[in-house]
Amino acid sequence: MQWWRDAVFYQIYVPSFTDSDGDGIGDLQGIRSRLGYLELLGVDALWLSPIYPSPMVDNGYDVTDHRGVDPAWGDLDAVDDLIADAHAHGIRVTVDLVSNHTSDQHPWFRAALASPTGSPERARYHFRPGQGADGTEPPNGWCSVFGGSAWTREPARDTGAREWYLHLFSPAQPDLNWTNLEVWADLDKTLRFWLDRGVDGFRIDAAHGMCKKLDDAGPAGAADDPRFDQDDVHDVHRMIRATLDHYPERVAIGAVGVRSAARFARYVRPDELHLAVDTQLAASRFDADEVRAAIEDCLASVGSVGAAASWLLSDHDLSRPASRYGAGPVGQARARAMALVQLALPGAAYIYNGDELGLPDAALPGDARRDAVWHHGEESRDGCRVPQPWEPDLPAYGFTTGEPWLPIPVEYAALSVAAQLEDTGSTLSLYRRALELRRLHPGFTQPPAPGPPLEWFGAPPGCLAFRRTGTTLVCALNTSPEPVPLPPGDALLVSGPLDELMLPPDTAVWLT
């Protein structure tokens, strides 16, 4: 059964979901205590941000042991308990896998720094001599995704000349060398370790990274970026797939940021990953033409190799939809409308925790910010990572009995789970109803008809309308400033109030 093809994945940013022990940081036991909520919400699977031991320079995306659990989140028993309980609630569990890099505190990297130039310990990473007479210039001009050079010079040492190491992200995240077979063997061991424990799959971080054209010193960021999306990376994904194929019903999902739909499709060929997360929908403005183009591109791309699409509006790196699409009530209304578009599309969907509550980004004072590795002017990823509010009247809104690791704004009280649960007009109720219809309505449950999965209708300027092929389920979106006539049919679900037979601006509707 290819359950993932239309599954709803709920991304839990582990530090920010629920804290069970009062240290102010979310944990596995906290997630376990919320499984009743997740079942009520109606999600099919969880995607947990990295749970591995980490110095937390990048909140877990800097890993020191891929087969362990950081004490901040719990331990291996807590993982086993969470998987067992989630399965009892009918929810699968997938985990983030960071295979492009390790932490600079990983035993391998420490051994590399302590080993002679050219030794096997150093061959697991990318070390290069510097340029210039005394090697004080980086080996090439590559930039890190977080800003600044992608190279850091290692500390002075006794075992050889000082070299530079590559890190496409922060200096605390040295890139692994994927031409080294030990690196491959270790990933295989990691996959089996977690699969044997019962995880249902992996979200592979920076899945277009891993292999680099290091001898190409061309400018990073050019059309053919030598840092990313190199052909060799597909061999890694074939290995991942071959391992997963020994375990029934497990899924590999790539976080793939590539330059074209054709390149994207290559990650989900039949012997590679099962799904690749589309980033174009999240990158689109609230504009019907842009949204339609993103949908068409992704469907054409994955359709060309027979894979399912998978749609994401936000995650722990992006501004939340309720802020990104506009300020205040406009942003809220547009985020709700886009949720109905996303959830009507054929394929899998990812909901980032807190988006089902319509949370806006939190405005954090500079001294409260924790995302120290992101160096892009005033932007910060902390605003979308603020803890989930559960109860309006409890300290820290029920997230923790201690001091939350990021301050929770007072406006989150009115958006807390308890404040929205019984309110039929709330964003939480909208998500619950949409997920219920996905499970029950023939527009979603009918087996897909042959041919393109969507039929587009002509729509007024600034609007889009599509039907899921072979069904009566229609979704329409109005991004124009004026109300437009509703397409014919009975409204099943609306993101905001309808205006008689008109679809108001910033609104989407499901009709049958």
- Residue 118 CB, shortest distance to ligand BGC, in Å, is 28
- Residue 6 or 175 having the CB closest to ligand BGC: 175
Closest CB to ligand BGC among residues 61, 466: 61
Q: 450-473 as b/e, with b when 16 or more CB fall inside 10 Å?
A: eeebbeeeebbebbbbbbbbbbeb
d(CA 187, CA 168): 19
For ligand BGC, the closer of residues 98 and 503 by Cβ is: 98
Do residues 334 and 327 touch, judged by C-beta distance below 8 A? no
- Nearest residue to ligand BGC by CB is 61
Cα-to-chain-centroid distance, residue 174: 21
350 sits near ligand BGC (criterion: CB under 6 A): no
- Are residues 112 and 122 in contact, defined by beta-carbon separation less than 8 angstroms? yes
Q: Is residue 70 packed enough to be buried (19+ CB in 10 Å), middle (13-18) or exposed (0-12)? A: buried
Q: How far is the CB of 58 from ligand BGC (least distance, A)?
A: 5
Write down the least CB distance from residue 320 to ligand BGC, Å.
Answer: 15
In the complex, least distance from residue 180 CB atom to ligand BGC, rounded to whole angstroms: 19
Closest approach, Cβ 170 to ligand BGC, in A, equals 8
* Helix, strand, coil % in the chain, rounded to nearest 5: 30, 15, 55
- Shortest distance, position 186 Cβ to ligand BGC, whole Å: 17
Q: How far is the CB of 316 from ligand BGC (least distance, A)?
A: 6
For the record, the structure tokens of 369 come out as 């910010």
Told to check if 14 binds ligand BGC by CB under 6 A, we report no
210 touches ligand BGC (CB under 6 A): no
Which is closer to ligand BGC, CB of 32 or CB of 316? Answer: 316
Name the minimum Å distance from CB 102 to ligand BGC. Answer: 10
**How many helices and strands, by DSSP H and E, does the chain display?**
14, 18
Find, among 362, 269, 337, the residue nearest to 476 by Cα: 337
Q: How many residues bind ligand BGC (CB under 6 A)?
A: 9
Interaction of residue 205 with ligand BGC, rule CB under 6 A: yes
**Rounded Cα gap, residues 178 and 231, in angstroms:** 12
Rounded least distance, CB 290 to ligand BGC, Å? 23
Closer to ligand BGC by CB, 129 or 147: give it: 147
For the chain, the C-alpha Rg in angstroms (whole number) is: 23
DSSP code, position 88: H
Query: Which long-range contacts does 375-382 make (Cβ < 8 Å, 24+ apart)?
Result: 375/146, 375/147, 375/148, 376/146, 376/147, 381/316, 381/317, 382/406
Name the residue nearer to ligand BGC (CB basis): 98 or 419.
98
Residue with Cβ nearer ligand BGC (116 or 221): 221
Q: Where are the beta strands (DSSP E) in 62-166?
A: 92-97, 127-128, 151-153, 164-166
Minimum distance between the CB of residue 134 and ligand BGC, rounded to whole angstroms?
32
- Residue placing its CB nearer to ligand BGC in the complex, 89 or 370: 370
Q: Which amino acid is at 23?
A: D
Output the smallest distance, CB 203 to ligand BGC, in A: 9
> Does 255 help bind ligand BGC (rule: CB under 6 A)?
yes
Binding string, residues 438-457; x marks residues near ligand BGC by CB under 6 A: --------------------
Closest CB 96 distance from ligand BGC, rounded Å: 8
Nearer of residues 98 and 298 to ligand BGC, judged by Cβ? 98
Distance (Å, whole) CA 182 – CA 149: 27
Q: According to CB under 6 A, which one of 63, 206, 252, 364 is a site residue for ligand BGC?
A: 206
Query: Burial of 376 by CB count in 10 Å (0-12 exposed, 13-18 middle, 19+ buried)?
Result: exposed
Residues 79-108 that bind ligand BGC (CB under 6 A): 98
Q: Does 58 bind ligand BGC (CB under 6 A)?
A: yes
Whose tokens are 């527009």? That residue is: 443
Q: Is 61 in the site for ligand BGC (CB under 6 A)?
A: yes
Instruction: Report the nearest approach of ligand BGC to the CB of residue 315 (Å).
Output: 7
Q: What is d(CA 406, CA 370) in angstroms, rounded to the nearest whole number?
A: 8
Site for ligand BGC in 358-397 (CB under 6 A): none
From residue 275 to residue 314, the character string flagging contacts with ligand BGC as x (rule: CB under 6 A) and all else as - is ----------------------------------------
Q: Is 150 exposed, middle or buried (0-12, 13-18, 19+ CB in 10 A)?
A: buried
Task: Give 54 or 140: the residue with its C-beta nearer to ligand BGC.
Answer: 54
Name 127's bridge partners: 165
Selection from 292, 285, 279 nearest residue 466 by Cα: 292
Name which of 512, 501, 493 is nearest 336 in CA terms: 493
Residues 151-170 binding ligand BGC (CB under 6 A) are: 169
Kindly state whether residue 35 participates in binding ligand BGC, applying the rule CB under 6 A: no
Q: Is 317 in the site for ligand BGC (CB under 6 A)?
A: yes
Footprint (CB under 6 A) of ligand BGC, residues 415-434: none
Cβ nearer to ligand BGC, comparing 316 with 441 = 316
272 binds ligand BGC (CB under 6 A): no
- Which positions lie near ligand BGC, rule CB under 6 A? 58, 61, 98, 169, 205-206, 255, 316-317
